[in-house]
Amino acid sequence: MIVGTLRLRLLLRDSHSLKQKRSVIRSLKQTLHNKFDVAAAETDHQDVWQTAEIGVATVGTDTPFVREVLSNVENFVRFFGGVELVDSKAETFQDDE
């Protein structure tokens, strides 16, 4: 089993309230789940209007496939309206059994 994680640090320049931010983040998480079949959650900066951190996770049996999914998610987020990708970090973990 291969587990892939992706940490995305985002800037939401047009957000002027937590309500606006949460609307954009909710839409992004739902879109990522529907389009890439990944789990996504806001993992940091929940109470800050214009920054967010999203954690994404996926599981597979093939490392190149898991890395491709994470890469596709990252590329998609780069062009998602309302957010600017500031930083990202992808990691994969392999079950040693």
Kindly report, residue by residue over 15-73, the tens digit of the pLDDT.
Answer: 899 999 999 999 999 999 999 999 999 999 888 889 999 999 999 999 999 999 999 99
- Could you tell me which residues are beta bridge partners of residue 45? none
Is 2-89 a domain of CATH 3.40.50.1820? no
Q: How far apart are CA 84 and CA 10, in angstroms?
A: 5
pLDDT in tens, 74-95: 999 999 989 999 999 999 999 8
Find out whether 52 and 42 touch, Cβ atoms under 8 Å.
yes
Does the pLDDT value for residue 97 go beyond 80?
Answer: no
Closest-CA residue to 6 (of 70, 63, 94, 52):
70
Distances (CA, A) of 9 to 41, 46, 65, 66, 94: 12, 12, 23, 20, 24
Distances (CA, A) of 96 to 1, 3, 60, 76: 8, 12, 14, 31
